[in-house]
Amino acid sequence: SQQGEEDPQALSIQEGENATMNCSYKTSINNLQWYRQNSGRGLVHLILIRSNEREKHSGRLRVTLDTSKKSSSLLITASRAADTASYFCAASGGSNYKLTFGKGTLLTVNP
Amino acid sequence: SQTIHQWPATLVQPVGSPLSLECTVEGTSNPNLYWYRQAAGRGLQLLFYSVGIGQISSEVPQNLSASRPQDRQFILSSKKLLLSDSGFYLCAWSGTPGSYEQYFGPGTRLTVT
């Protein structure tokens, strides 16, 4: 499967600091996506990076993709307490829009 | 704009009882639909997906089943719940042309006692 695995499992930082989360996957992909989940809620799509892209930005988010290492990273700059959530990577390798999610990184931003 | 609804929000059911969770999508046609389960502190496990009415693919063998009686309606069912069926059930849709993003509902918290 294209399963994503996030690292670290949990991350605690102070407001204003940057947060970096990593993801590894096993097989070739069409794209890799990052999602956010607040406690007890549904997931919200953050950003998608295609297999032929190496870096993508969206506001305070920066995603990189290294297909040779089968890894991706999500950087959140100038973190805020409201960024506290779980973050999941999801790999897509087929044409039927199926995604395979990792177990997530729990980010805690302390005010 | 598109919206996705799930109900109920929470459910407590005894072992051996039946289950029916419903998901509906508004504002789009012929979406791909998905059911996921999330155990406490874990990632999402894809249970079923559907690319059209009456077309259901099962990802994990279990005592759950899914049906899609209408284009924008997706139902998750069980005839007899097990304790291991407890979890957070999420419905999602995708299918905006050229897009791979999935859009999730608010989820149903199921506790089997």
User: C-alpha distances in angstroms, B42 versus A3, A55, A104, B23, B85?
Assistant: 13, 28, 7, 22, 14
Q: Which of A13-27, A28-42, A96-110 comes out lowest in average pLDDT?
A: A96-110
* Residue B19 bridge partners (DSSP): B78
Question: Is there a cis peptide before residue B8, judged by omega within 30 degrees of 0?
Answer: yes
pLDDT over 50 at A1, yes or no: no
Residue range A59-106, pLDDT digits in tens:
999 999 999 999 999 999 999 999 999 999 999 886 667 888 888 999
Contact criterion met (CB < 8 Å) for B106 and A31: no
Laid out side by side, the sheet with B19-26 consists of B3-7, B19-26, B73-78, B64-70
Collect all residues from A whose CB is shorter than 8 A from any CB in B.
Answer: 30-31, 33, 40-45, 48, 88, 90, 92, 96-104
Q: How far apart are CA A101 and CA B34, in angstroms?
A: 13
> How many other CB atoms sit within 10 Å of the CB of residue A43?
27
Residue range B85-99, pLDDT digits in tens:
999 999 999 986 667
